[in-house]
Chain A
Amino acid sequence: MTATTAEDSLPSRISGTLWRRPKLLILLLLTPPLLWLGIVYVGSLFSLLLQSFFSLDDFTGQIQYDLTLSTYAELFRPSNFDILRRTVVMAVLVTIASAILAFPIAYYAARYAKGRWKAVFYLGVMLPLWSSYLVKIYAWKMILSKEGIISWVAAKLHLSVLLEGWLSLPEVGGNSLSVSSTGTFLVFVYIWLPYMILPVQAALERVPSNLIEASYDLGAAPAKTFRHVLLPMALPGVAAGSIFTFSLTLGDYIVPGIIGTSRLFIGQVVYVQQGTAGNIPLAAAFSVVPVVIMAVYLWLAKKQGAFDAL
Chain B
Amino acid sequence: MTSAVTFRAVSRHFGPVRAVDHVDLDIAEGEFFAMLGPSGSGKTTCLRLIAGFEQPTSGKITIFKEDTTALPPWRRHVNTVFQDYALFPHMSIRDNVAYGLMVKGIDAKTRRRAAEEALELVKLGGYGDRKTGQMSGGQRQRVALARALVNKPSVLLLDEPLGALDLKLREAMQEELKSLQRKLGITFVLVTHDQGEALSMADRVAVFNHGKIVQAGTPEDIYHNPRSRFVADFVGSANVLPPSLMEKLTGTSAWAGLRPEKISLSGGEGRLAIDGTLTDSSFLGAVRRVAVNADGQTIHANLPAHEMVPEAGARLTLYFDRFALTILDDAP
Contacts and interface: CB of A to CB of B under 8 A. Distances in A.
B74 A208 contact: no
Contacts of B195: none
A124 B46 CA distance: 39
B286 interface: no
If over half of A's interface residues share one DSSP class (helix, strand or loop), that class is named, otherwise mixed; here it is helix
A214 B96 CA distance: 10
B103 A208 contact: no
A133 B79 CA distance: 52
A217 B79 contact: yes
Given A228-B99, A308-B90, A214 B74 contact: no
Interface string B92-121: 000000011011100000000000000000
Contact of A218 (B52, B89, B90, B147): B147
A254 B204 CA distance: 73
A218 B82 contact: no
Contact of B89 (A217, A219, A220, A309): A309
Interface in B109-164: 147-148, 151
A171 interface: no
Contact of B90 (A208, A224, A225, A232): A232
Given A216-B74, A217-B51, A218-B151, A211 B86 contact: yes
A214 B89 contact: no
Interface in B54-96: 72-75, 78-80, 82, 84, 86-90
B86 A220 contact: no
B53 interface: yes
A214 B88 CA distance: 9
Nearest to A232: B90
Given A220-B74, A232-B90, A309-B89, A214 B103 contact: no
A213 B73 contact: yes
B224 to A, nearest CB: 37
Contacts of B79: 217-218
B90 A214 contact: no
Interface size class, chain A:
20 to 34
A137 to B, nearest CB: 39
Interface in A25-54: none
B84 A210 contact: yes
Contacts of A220: 74, 99, 103
A217 B80 contact: yes
A233 interface: yes
A222 B148 CA distance: 19
Contacts of B84: 208, 210
A305 to B, nearest CB: 8
Contacts of A210: 82, 84, 86
Nearest to A211: B86
A220 B74 CA distance: 6
Interface string A197-217: 000000000001011011111
Given A219-B104, A220-B99, A214 B86 contact: yes
A219 B74 CA distance: 4
A224 B103 contact: yes
A216 B99 CA distance: 11
Contacts of A225: 74
A309 B90 contact: yes
Given A216-B74, A218-B79, 11 more contacts: A215-B88, A215-B99, A216-B72, A217-B74, A217-B78, A220-B74, A222-B74, A229-B88, A232-B90, A308-B90, A309-B89
17 contacts: A210-B86, A211-B86, A213-B73, A214-B88, A216-B52, A216-B53, A217-B52, A217-B73, A217-B78, A218-B147, A219-B75, A219-B151, A220-B74, A220-B99, A220-B103, A225-B74, A228-B99
Interface of A: 208, 210-211, 213-222, 224-225, 228-229, 232-233, 305, 308-309
